[in-house]
Amino acid sequence: MQNYNEVLKYTEQVLDIIEKAEVTKEEAAWIAKETVDGFRENVNPGFLEYRKSVTKDTQFASVEWKDSGRNCFVDVHGKEYIDCLGGFGIYNVGHSHPKVVKAVTDQMAKQPLHSQDLLDPLRAMLAKTLGMLTPGDLKYCFFGNSGTEAVEAALKMAKIYHSEEGRSTFIATTRAFHGKSLGALSGTAKGVFRKPFMPLVNGFRHVAFGDIEMMRKTMAACHMVGEDVAAVLLEPIQGEGGVIIPPDDYLKQVRELCDEYGALLILDEVQTGMGRTGKMFCAEHYGVVPDIIALAKAFGGGVMPASATVASEKVFKHLFDNPFLHTTTFGGNPLACAAALATINVLIEENLPQRAAEMGDYLIAGLRDAMKGHEDKVLEIRGKGLLIGIEFVNDEIGYEVAKGFFDNGILTAGTLINAKTVRIEPPLTIEKEQCDKVCETFAKVLKEMNKEAVVQG
């Protein structure tokens, strides 16, 4: 018999905490303990090892508590961090942007979720907005809750578009990341993520990212053996793969190749979209219009989970006859749509794509300055807009730097197992002074590593 009284008491206690903006020292200690215990006993103890490894003196990771301004957050003990990880790219408009929060809370007070039967207005208005915002003839929208779902929908759209002809081959690229559901994972490239779950969806080939000749040969070979390619699935700049920027003419050549063979081009802009790289969509840097674009992460303004798969009418019309061929209960809910509408408004009103371009140039220049004399440790600093990667000589050095950043109140994306390239992906609202602090800290951490090496040697 479960003890409902115990459940009742515990949830009351947690609801009390949720209600509070500030906590006492005792409450903070309780929260930290419950969090670590909960992860160990009921979430996944693996996370504790993984986060522990990043923090000072291998103590357990900080327990986060609330946002602090647009570009920072504070942990439960009151320590502030500049957020250079940006939730892997969800905070483009900054943390808790008041306009996004207001849209969501206003909608929340009226009707948080939709009836599922009547026509919900915000879905229509967001779709219209995206039709205006996305390049070329992209027009019809399917809404989901995550990047994975956006990619999954794109793959299904490509399949149904080609269903008469029976094409079901997809070309993806090495080092790609498209999510971890069985369909999206088939496009994802990392062996460790894929291998335990084989066999995945049939028909996926992977070619080297940026290598147009390999893609051309694969496309031709697929055609010759009667397995014509339904679609090419591509990130315009690879995010998780370590901020890999392809040759300038690559995307355009892929577009031409797709047209030559009647394949669709799916651009996964889950991470590069919504202003991150210095344009609203990264494809605009290269003057390319995809047949399908996948958006998520920053699409919900860092307030709501939200994703969109936007396609041209030529592609999407195959779902007109039966719109129930692909649906999800929560996708396109009023709270998510309110958040996305406010996010798009803010991106334009505050000119954030351009700000990303400018601050990105500033930050990259500063980081390059800071690495001078440390070429034995840092291989390269690259990026577009505020999607920046620092590539180290090896994982160990990258990990030491990520740890140094963390100890100095700057959160970056670098972990014990994956730190050869540390990603810097702050909110597009990051201030110049905060960029300066990041660069100063980078220089300081690199210098201290020299000293330690001397002492150890």
Ligand X SMILES: *Cc1c(COP(=O)(O)O)cnc(C)c1O
Residues at the interface with ligand X (CB under 6 A): 146-148, 151, 177-179, 235, 239-240, 268, 270-271, 296-297
Between 120 and 152, name the residue whose CB sits nearer to ligand X.
152
Pairing of strands 264-268, 229-234: parallel
Least Å distance, CB 272 to ligand X, is 7
Strand order in the sheet with 418-424: 378-384, 387-392, 418-424, 413-415
Closest distance between ligand X and the C-beta of residue 446, in Å?
Answer: 28
Nearest alpha-carbon partner for 138 in 273, 330, 18, 241: 273
E strands within 112-203? 138-144, 169-173
On whether the CB atoms of residues 129 and 344 are closer than 8 A, the answer is yes
Closest CB to ligand X among 360 and 366?
360
DSSP state at residue 145: S
In Å, how far are 15, 34, 58, 75, 424 from 28, measured between CA atoms? 15, 10, 20, 9, 29
CB 382, CB 368: distance < 8 Å: no
Cα separation, 318 vs 361, in Å, equals 43
Query: Which is nearer to ligand X, 89 or 404 (by Cβ)?
Result: 89
Total Cβ atoms within 10 A of residue 116: 10
Q: What backbone phi and psi angles, to 5 degrees, belong to 235? A: -90, 135
Q: Choose among 54, 14, 20, 55: nearest CA to 38.
A: 14
Q: Give least dist CB 192 to ligand X, A.
A: 16
Shortest Å distance, C-beta 146 to ligand X: 4
| Edge-to-edge order in the sheet of strand 138-144 | 138-144, 307-312, 292-295, 264-268, 229-234, 169-173, 204-207
By C-beta, is 311 or 370 nearer to ligand X?
A: 311
User: In this chain, which residue has its C-beta nearest to ligand X?
Assistant: 147
CB of 262 to ligand X, least distance (A): 25
* Least distance between ligand X and beta carbon 359 (Å): 20
Q: How far is the CB of 377 from ligand X (least distance, A)?
A: 27
Query: Are 327 and 144 spatial neighbours (Cβ–Cβ below 8 Å)?
Result: no
Compare residues 179 and 414 and give the one whose CB is closer to ligand X: 179
Of the two residues 327 and 351, which places its CB atom closer to ligand X in the complex? 327
Bond prior to 199 in cis (omega within 30° of 0): yes
Shortest gap between Cβ of 417 and ligand X (angstroms)?
A: 18
Shortest distance in whole angstroms from residue 233 CB to ligand X: 10
Task: State which residue, 179 or 427, has the beta carbon closest to ligand X.
Answer: 179
**Do residues 424 and 388 make contact, with C-beta atoms less than 8 angstroms apart?**
yes
Assign 49 to helix, strand or coil: helix
Distance CA 321, CA 310 (A): 18
Specify whether the CB–CB gap between 158 and 201 falls below 8 A: no
Closest CB to ligand X among 32 and 337? Answer: 337
Instruction: Between 239 and 246, name the residue whose CB sits nearer to ligand X.
Output: 239
